[in-house]
Structure 1
Amino acid sequence: MTDTVSTTAPVYTVPQERRIVTAVPGPRSQELHQRRQAVVPVGVSSALPVYIARANGAILVDVDGNQFVDFGAGIGVTTIGHTESTVVAAAADQLQDVIHTLFTITPYEEYVRVAELLAEHTPGDHAKKTVLVNSGAEAVENGVKIARKHTGRRAVAVLDHAYHGRTNLTMAMNYKAMPYASGFGPLAGDVYHAPGSYPYRDGLSGEEAAARTIGYLEKVVGASDLACLVVEPIQGEGGFMVPADGFLPALQEWCTANGVVFIADEIQSGMARTGRFYASEHFGLVPDLVLSAKGIAGGLPLAAVTGRAEIMDSAQPGGLGGTFGGNPVAAAAAIAVFEQLEKNDLVAEGARIERALKPALLELQKKYDVIGDVRGIGAMIAIELVQPGTGETTKVPNPEAVAAIIAHAAQNGVLLLNAGTWGNVLRFLPSLAVSDELIADAVSVIDDALASL
């Protein structure tokens, strides 16, 4: 029986099971892929070229009728499940009333309500204000812009292995150039990359890692020139690194003491992904600004910068906004997401998923020395793969094993994603709708893949 704490049993329109009925990709997907290659640039690549016709709960159904257990959730977007019924209904109702006016011309209640909900659920009980935008990268850009305006300073600091987006500024903020920035320069200036905390590889305590980071910020950047430090409490694309205990609080304390705006990029880790509304809560953080996106609107494009009122009010009238930012339909969907998280205690589902998934992966680690590390919190778990025999010594990355496991899983109805600076991390980012049975089934597929390496 599924270990769940939800108070209302969901009703699914697609059976929650994997089912492969054709080759992967199947004939219709292959046909669509041929059409795609003629009109879509190669820079827009896909992890798995199967074309999706339906999605519900934790299952994707392709145009050939194959059903995949989705451990990617659109990279953390469909957090409460694909086509969740109340989100669909809220968006449909809003479509009948107002689709667009532009909030900065004629406002509407849905935008205000989302801002109220974010003020309530982001860490801290101080006065907060929110600007709504369209995407995670846009939230990052606006967060930096607001921090610069508030402090009158120019420099931006990020941590090694970070990922923040694909716009000009966020490309400069990413740790990994390929494929996100290679050939797209010149990039934005005044961005500094400080060492972070990577316990599996650096072996440092939180205190030691923080001292290293702060030393870099003081010596290379200079606190008096630093507008903000942007951190992912749990790094996403970098490989789901959970920092050592005490690392993040020490950075926040230093930022506060030096007038630096501490920005938590919770775009992937927020919205109940880790068993709390925001991952910052696991570390006792109360960021000055919190960036939300991905899971906030159930699949519709919406993002937010939420922060201390005095910081958010630094921008002059007209300095913030955008044509589609806080679109009424996306805002209505976000309100429904918050309501479902609260009504059905879905925040606790992240912890349930961790209880089901992490021990199973630790058992695989005992069987296969290619698994160097198992880490993560809630429904944000990863395994880092290394060359056999190197896990306790050099920890040589093994991206080939990750690619082989992902390919094997796809052929058997499980969608998995890679991550990590060296592409050697397998990340599990399911929706909160995934059952314990689906988790166990997917782990059995991964076990088979590991055995066949």
Structure 2
Amino acid sequence: MSAIPQERRVVTAIPGPKSQELQARRTAVVAGGVGSVLPVFTARAGGGIIEDIDGNRLIDFGSGIAVTSVGASAEAVVRRASAQLADFTHTCFMVTPYEGYVEVCERLAELTPGDHAKKSALFNSGAEAVENAVKIARSHTKRQAVVVFDHGYHGRTNLTMALTSKNMPYKHGFGPFAPEVYRVPVAYGYRWPTGPENCGAEASAQAIDQISKQIGAENVAAIIIEPVLGEGGFIEPAKGFLPAIAQFAKDNGIVFVADEIQSGFCRTGQWFACEDEGIVPDLITTAKGIAGGLPLAAVTGRAEIMDAAHAGGLGGTYGGNPVACAGALGSIETMKELDLNAKAKRIESVMKARLTEMQEKHDIIGDIRGRGAMIAIELVKSGTKDPNPEATAAIAKACHAAGVIVLTCGTYGNVLRFLPPLVIGEDLLNEGLDIVAEAIAAV
């Protein structure tokens, strides 16, 4: 377990004087376009705690946006990465390769859904993984069109901005965007006009109809979807939607890509969220939780699709950096050893029970959703389904002031999302939820 005491401690205002001083230095030299949820500067982190430079200890319900699932200083990650640092930091896999890269690809072949032959390519970030998945799919199919979904988020590079559905803050003022990207409806049960029970069938029929009529299935290289939509509001597509879309892709020679960057690696209580309905994607993109906080990403998929790109067509100077690969092997070791899928399911049962109690008292909680340790509440104006971003921001602010890091998301800015490290202690989890309850009651 972490060397940092696993207890919340608030000793100054948040942010404290040292953080405020550092924030002034930051303002002078860091570009204004780089935001921060909470300007407290971290000194150490581990388990379910982030300790700032003023000595405050905050309960971490964000995991650096689903990255530090094994904690921010997991023993196996630190041990393996430190050993690799001592041997060499970099050679570039495309110049002289090394075993760590190969071993990560072996682990990915073993862990990702499906028993077909699989290969991987490693990159630095989620957006890079998605962008390369598109390159691979286009190379394999000799087609150009890419289909994505309402409320989807896939990154901030030029191509992935085109794939992302939310304008502010991700796309505004940054166009023009890459062509041949088409957006279709997703099965958002809470907001589906005829109700969640009809949503899966109706939304998939609508999406397939639009693809067939507006693009032509024979022109589509890839369909890309997050099995649980992250930035869009932790939307779990209504049951039946994903299998219908995956089957349509299969029937039409379209590469089905599961973007598991936020939902992968035990986050939802399964290695990958697409397993919930037995989906076996052609390609799967991973990043975030893969390497315990070190920058690494991957595209893994059917060997014949992955091999479609010509030699030299995939890569990047830092892709599959040896230290990050060592971190990934340590992260996967920790996930298996501590059975973090079971931990994620336990976190879900604790959180959903507590959040349901809050919903019974406060009708601004319109919906509770998500799986594992990827849980969210959608906040609405009393007695309606109208989004309530003001209440969402106020609740997040109150939690921050009390020493709990929470994140918001959602196309309408009205979703409070919870992504605790999977290694968080249950007492800490409950204490954080007490503070969330107080913040909701106050609003």
Normalised TM-score (structure 2): 0.98
Distance 1:351 1:449 in 2: 25
8 Å Cα contact 2:9-2:56 kept in structure 1:
yes
Pairwise CA distance, 1:132 = 0.1
**Structure 1, residues 369-401: CA drift from partner, whole Å, max 9, x if none?**
0000000000000000000111xxxx1000011
AA paired with 1:101?
A: T
Distance 2:55 2:216 in 1: 57
**Structure 1, residues 245-289: CA drift from partner, whole Å, max 9, x if none?**
111001000000000000000000001101110001111100000
Distance 2:68 2:12 in 1: 26
Match of 2:270 in 1: 276
Q: Could you list the structure 1 runs, at least 4 aligned residues long, displaced by more than 6 angstroms after superposition.
A: none
Q: Tell me if 1:78 matches 2:78.
A: no
Distance 2:369 2:341 in 1: 20
8 Å Cα contact 2:188-2:199 kept in structure 1:
no
Pairwise CA distance, 1:205 = 2.9
Match of 2:83 in 1: 93
AA paired with 1:137?
A: A
Match of 2:10 in 1: 20
Q: Tell me if 1:293 matches 2:283.
A: no
Match of 1:261 in 2: 255
Match of 1:184 in 2: 174
Match of 1:57 in 2: 47
**Structure 1, residues 283-311: CA drift from partner, whole Å, max 9, x if none?**
11000000010000000000000000000
Partner of residue 435 from structure 1, selected from 415, 425, 443: 425
Distance 1:137 1:225 in 2: 23
Match of 2:164 in 1: 174
Aligned to 2:336, the other structure's residue is in SS state: helix
Counterparts in 2 of 1:340-351, with a 5 A limit? 340-351=334-345
Distance 2:59 2:352 in 1: 17
Distance 2:396 2:199 in 1: 33
Partner of residue 137 from structure 2, selected from 134, 138, 147: 147
Aligned to 2:344, the other structure's residue is in SS state: helix
Aligned to 2:106, the other structure's residue is in SS state: helix
Pairwise CA distance, 1:344 = 2.1
Partner of residue 234 from structure 2, selected from 204, 225, 240: 240
8 Å Cα contact 2:76-2:333 kept in structure 1:
no
8 Å Cα contact 2:77-2:331 kept in structure 1:
yes
Match of 1:220 in 2: 214
Pairwise CA distance, 1:447 = 1.2
Aligned to 2:127, the other structure's residue is in SS state: helix
Counterparts in 2 of 1:39-438, with a 5 A limit? 39-202=29-192, 203=195, 204-390=198-384, 395-438=385-428
Count of aligned residue pairs for this structure pair: 439
Q: Tell me if 1:36 matches 2:18.
A: no
Aligned to 2:377, the other structure's residue is in SS state: strand
Pairwise CA distance, 1:345 = 1.4
AA paired with 1:199?
A: G
Pairwise CA distance, 1:340 = 1.4
Distance 1:343 1:438 in 2: 22
Instruction: Give % identity.
Output: 58
**Structure 1, residues 203-226: CA drift from partner, whole Å, max 9, x if none?**
233112110111111111110110
- Where does structure 2 lack aligned partners over 5 or more consecutive residues? none
Distance 1:56 1:366 in 2: 34
Distance 1:450 1:292 in 2: 34
8 Å Cα contact 2:2-2:73 kept in structure 1:
no
AA paired with 2:156?
A: R
Aligned to 1:384, the other structure's residue is in SS state: strand
AA paired with 1:87?
A: V
Distance 1:201 1:75 in 2: 25
Distance 1:266 1:400 in 2: 30
Distance 1:93 1:12 in 2: 19
Pairwise CA distance, 1:424 = 0.1
**Worse overlay, 98-107 or 138-147:** 98-107
Distance 2:229 2:117 in 1: 27
Aligned to 1:388, the other structure's residue is in SS state: coil
Pairwise CA distance, 1:439 = 1.6
Distance 1:182 1:244 in 2: 30
Aligned to 1:205, the other structure's residue is in SS state: helix
Distance 2:219 2:167 in 1: 25
Distance 2:270 2:94 in 1: 32
Match of 1:7 in 2: none
Aligned to 1:364, the other structure's residue is in SS state: helix
**Structure 1, residues 222-245: CA drift from partner, whole Å, max 9, x if none?**
101100000000000000011111
Aligned to 1:228, the other structure's residue is in SS state: strand
Distance 1:269 1:248 in 2: 15
Normalised TM-score (structure 1): 0.96
Distance 1:80 1:12 in 2: 10
Distance 1:307 1:297 in 2: 19
Match of 1:6 in 2: none
Pairwise CA distance, 1:86 = 1.2
Aligned to 2:222, the other structure's residue is in SS state: strand
| RMSD, matched Cα | 0.7
Distance 1:97 1:12 in 2: 26
